[in-house]
Structure 1
């Protein structure tokens, strides 16, 4: 590869300022480079961030890329913002698990699996950006379908839903 420090610096800046992960195609278009060249630059950045002397890491999320902080420095960042991490309730974790493994899924289907209402837990997950409305199911009442977000992937350190552990879940029978 040719000496590409200006392009590497530009790529790093784009990944730093981007709110959402950037695709190879978009990065190539912006930097006027082909996909192979972008992959080489990403490899350069990945190597740069690999050591213990750097608090950043290159994250791959749903086929896109962005910069993030290494888990080892999280406590320092938390101290800066002085906002204690708010843990999810057991109910919210249960609802999130159901959505993650069964998505897209309706509130009624979630309630059926849990055996109790999930309104409050679902509202909390939406508020935290871990779950979103992804449309409506065909059928009576056209209930809202829910799925996880990129924030969910980022929070749990997953590249895609394919990285989730395999789990045996009972089949979902239609609620009455």
Structure 2
């Protein structure tokens, strides 16, 4: 008596394996998610959103992001990775045209605010007193308040010295607004060794007065000088990210003059 023949198991089709590993089907889904999202999305978030029912592999998802970036290379929008994840944004080339959608121009940031932000970027964690020492002038409370309200800096602790002053550092929101993944992408700042070069750099910022600085402080001032131009250029490159709600608060009534109310610091008598 012969035993019945057992049909061999059907082999898995190569086409099915290739389809499951092909990143191309994910590209339109990623584009739809990033267009609809108001905030950048991380790879983990994208995996959860694309789970059907299993999430795609990270390698396949990153390959799909690469393909999406290539597809957008000739369009007005671009795919960028910032500190909070991936997002689609208008290319800087078209920022001036897009800004015409808003009738009111965004408020320009003062030179004093940009100097303060630059110092915090390169010297963090830093106290208000240290910022004042580097800049050589008193720091208006409105500047710190504005940076905190915009979400660009945050309190990261206190310095263990008498008075326990607050230490400030930057946030992921600042990196997102500047289009950076990390602070490592900020340009390196060469140390200014020639005092004459230092004075010229300070004069270019409108300081207008020589400052008595120790050798250790010269590098810090050079950082503030170079970083101010970097931060100002990055902020100006994205006018559509600053709306009317981001207007700089008006200074509170104060009997003392506000040294940061103008674009340049007044020279001492």
TM-score normalised per structure 2: 0.56
Task: Give the match for residue 58 of structure 1.
Answer: 79
1:134 lines up with 2:156 in the alignment = yes
Q: 1:134 to 1:69 in 2, by over 3 A?
A: farther
User: What is the rounded CA distance, in whole Å, between the counterparts of 2:22 and 2:112 in structure 1?
Assistant: 53
* Residue matched to 2:45: 26
Stretches of structure 1 lacking an aligned partner (at least 5 in a row): none
Deviations 1:123-145 (A, max 9, x none): 22223332222333344333322
Given the superposition, is the C-alpha separation of residues 151 and 63 from structure 1 closer, same or farther in structure 2, using an over 3 Å criterion? Answer: closer
- 2:124 aligned residue: 103
For normalisation by structure 1, the TM-score amounts to 0.82
Instruction: Tell me, in whole angstroms, the C-alpha distance in 1 between the residues paired with 2:157 and 2:98.
Output: 36
The superposition leaves residues 52-92 of structure 1 with CA deviations (integer Å, 9 ceiling, x where unpaired) of xx221111112721111111121222111223132211111
The match for 1:12 among 31, 36, 43 is 31
Structure-1 residue corresponding to 2:66: 43
Q: How many angstroms apart in 2 are the aligned matches of 1:20 and 1:132?
A: 20
Change in Cα spacing, 1:82 to 1:148, as seen in structure 2 (3 Å) is farther
Which stretch shifts more, 101-110 or 19-28?
Answer: 19-28
Kindly report the root-mean-square deviation, in angstroms, between the aligned alpha carbons of the 2 structures: 2.3
Q: Which residue in 2 is equivalent to 1:2?
A: 22
Structure whose residues are more often strand by fraction = 1
Partner in structure 1 of residue 105 of structure 2: 84
Aligned partners of 1:60 and 1:3: how far apart in 2? 18
Distance 1:151 1:57 in 2: 19
Q: Which runs of 5+ in 2 are unaligned?
A: 1-20, 192-214, 218-269
Q: Distance in 2 between matches of 1:167 and 1:83?
A: 35
